[in-house]
Amino acid sequence: MKAGVSAIIIAISMMAAPVWSAPDTVAIKENQHYQVLDTGQAIPNNQLEVLEFFSFACPHCAHLEPTLQSWRKTLPKGVTFRRVPVIFRPQWENLAKVYYTLDGLKLAHLEPEVFKAIHEQNLDLSNTEEFMKWLGKHKVDEKKALMFYESFTVSTKVSQAKTLAQHYRIEGVPLLIVGGRYKTDVAMAGGAEKVPDVLNQLINIAQKKPFSK
């Protein structure tokens, strides 16, 4: 008798208890969550690329960084992620060189630390000497880093970044472009935490409708 009553009580409790489930993905809408560009670039070899136009000096980029770092680990096969530093102010050019130095020396793991150094520790890493000292504290060969920082390779990449930003008419950052055609940002996505979902949906759209000239 007691066992039967207990079973009934448990069943009723389970019926009354709210059932939690992950929120459904909201289907994104053109001109609300993203925009379609008429100045896209065809991606060679069917390699879908996600571009992030950014600057280490941008506080909004710094805020988005942890979310992007986590999302980048989930990129599907055939999709690549590339950052493009923008130069809205003279001192941002050196920060573009900071990015390409880290990228060229395979020090991408220090990118989140650059954001922290600038926005939390108030270090001026646009100052070449300050940046080299900072690298030294992270056990990087300062002489080797300085040679690369001042190299033709880095200078060329900075010039290419300027050209690409002009091509896409970048006026604010962070800004993300999927497949050379679909543009979104934090505001359109509805917040930094929603950016990954919007990007994933745009990847699906871009795979079905790739840009072609």
Task: Write the pLDDT tens digit of every residue in 28-41.
Answer: 999 999 999 987 66
**Structure tokens given for 118:** 């600038």
Q: pTM of this prediction?
A: 0.85
pLDDT at 15: 42
Among 122, 104, 102, smallest CA distance to 112 is for: 102
**Which residues, listed in sequence order, are joined to residue 12 by a DSSP beta bridge?**
none
* Distance of alpha carbon 200 from alpha carbon 206, whole angstroms: 10
CB 125 within 8 A of CB 101: no
53 three-class SS: strand
Instruction: Indicate the CATH number for domain 29-208.
Output: 3.40.30.10
207: pLDDT confidence band, cut at 50, 70 and 90? confident
* Distance of alpha carbon 197 from alpha carbon 78, whole angstroms: 18
